Amino acid sequence: MTYRVTLIPGDGIGPEVTDAARHVADATGVDLAWDIVDAGEKAIASRGTPLPDDVLGSIRRNRLALKGPITTPIGSGFRSVNVALRQQLDLYASVRPARAIAGEGTRFPETDLVVVREATEGLYSGVEHWVDRDHTAAETVNVITRKASDRIVRFAFELARREHRLHVTAVHKANIMKTTGALFQTAFQEMAARYPDVRADERLIDNMCMQLAKKPEEYNVIVTTNLFGDILSDLCAGLAGGLGVAPGALYGDDLAVFEPVHGSAPKYAGQDKADPVAEILCVELLLRHIGETEAADRVFRAVWETIAEKKVVTYDLALPGYTSHPVPPSSCSAMAAEIARKVPRVDLSTPLPRPRGTAGAHDEHLEAGG
């Protein structure tokens, strides 16, 4: 079977890491036909808009996309392509697994959690204005609806069941944001009552940051609103080994777009230096989504073994300050070639080296941890 996939290379390091991801995807033998379209800086230069209609059309047609990061100018200029894509395609669930891989690049090798972020409303709704003519005061509206809150918390509980991650933590600031925060909190509490098999608890965003920095292994699925989710998913990426290894997915009712947590890292653009793993693990998530489980397992395992061996890894997994055992750094393309070489060869007969999730050990840990 052929799967047609929209491919958006993106800006900065985007073309390098999406090339790397395609190389690895091709090594799985799954028949992926790439429909390549430009969004971001290239599209502005050639079409005068960062998000041409044919990009949206291609994703709607294929219902599947792999995306590189896209630069968003700060303060002025075009609105974020990333935010526009999520809102126009109603990609409401941003799912960002933070899994420490082979204990490398992290002080928290037990980190294995998933951040589920509402991606269409909140403080990213684009409702903002100056209050006065002199621009000395401004307002941004935090739009929270019951509909969007219900569907994101339902998504989180369903994910918890599907992936045997039977602990969901809602993160909010309902003590200060007494309407928007309370609305999200109520949606969570009412949904939790429908999933008695899943442990449900809540944290205020400030406390959550402190808890994660001390003991990330106590958390499994985190569900939250747009801005808190954006910030927490970078924090969790850092706990799990850095932005170079953090993949992500955006789901709507019948569309899925896979993109790394990281941005376009312009300072590394064109240097063949960036870590390709985050974009490669987006391919793993894409393959899982379309039911190509063995191919997905092969990609994850090949990444794990490449990082564990530490013979061909990029600077973020190689240099002093990033790792306890420095090695000479390899290029983005060399690391991708090594992962692709391993994909058909890895041995899947022993369990995947995942510390948690489907292992079942986590459930015991939760009971012990209270």
Q: Which residues bind ligand NAD (CB under 6 A)?
A: 13, 17, 69-72, 82, 243-244, 259, 262-265, 267, 274-275, 278, 316
Alpha-carbon distance of 314 to 278, in angstroms, equals 12
- Report the 10 Å Cβ neighbour count for 336: 28
**Which segments of 288-357 are extended strands (E)?**
none
Q: Which two tokens stand for residue 220?
A: 């499994």
Choice among 173, 195, 234, 342 that is catalytic = 173
173 assigned to active site: yes
Residue nearer to ligand NAD on the CB measure, 58 or 314: 314
Which of 139, 142, 198, 206 minimizes the C-alpha distance to 171?
A: 206
Q: Are 287 and 254 in contact (CB under 8 A)?
A: no
The number of C-alpha atoms within 13 Å of 119 and in the hemisphere containing its C-beta is: 28
Residue nearer to ligand NAD on the CB measure, 118 or 316: 316
Least separation in angstroms between CB 55 and ligand NAD: 13
Residue nearer to ligand NAD on the CB measure, 113 or 282: 282
Q: Which two tokens stand for residue 91?
A: 């990609």
H/E run at residue 307: helix 293-309
206 assigned to active site: yes
Choice among 38, 230, 234, 275 that is catalytic = 230
Residue nearer to ligand NAD on the CB measure, 217 or 316: 316
Number of separate helices (H) and strands (E) present in the chain: 12, 12
Instruction: Let me know how long the chain is.
Output: 370
Choice among 31, 53, 201, 206 that is catalytic = 206
273 assigned to active site: no
Residue nearest to ligand NAD (CB): 263
Least separation in angstroms between CB 259 and ligand NAD: 5
Bridge-based pairing state of the strands 249-251 and 93-99: antiparallel
Least separation in angstroms between CB 59 and ligand NAD: 15
Least separation in angstroms between CB 338 and ligand NAD: 16
**Which segments of 211-270 are extended strands (E)?**
221-224, 249-251, 256-258
Choice among 11, 112, 124, 234 that is catalytic = 124
Alpha-carbon distance of 188 to 185, in angstroms, equals 5
Least separation in angstroms between CB 246 and ligand NAD: 9
Backbone angles phi, psi at 212, to 5 degrees: -65, -40
Least separation in angstroms between CB 176 and ligand NAD: 26
124 assigned to active site: yes
Residue nearer to ligand NAD on the CB measure, 200 or 302: 302
* Sequence-separated (6 or more) residues with CB below 8 Å from residue 194: 157
Residue nearer to ligand NAD on the CB measure, 243 or 336: 243
Catalytic residues: 124, 173, 206, 230
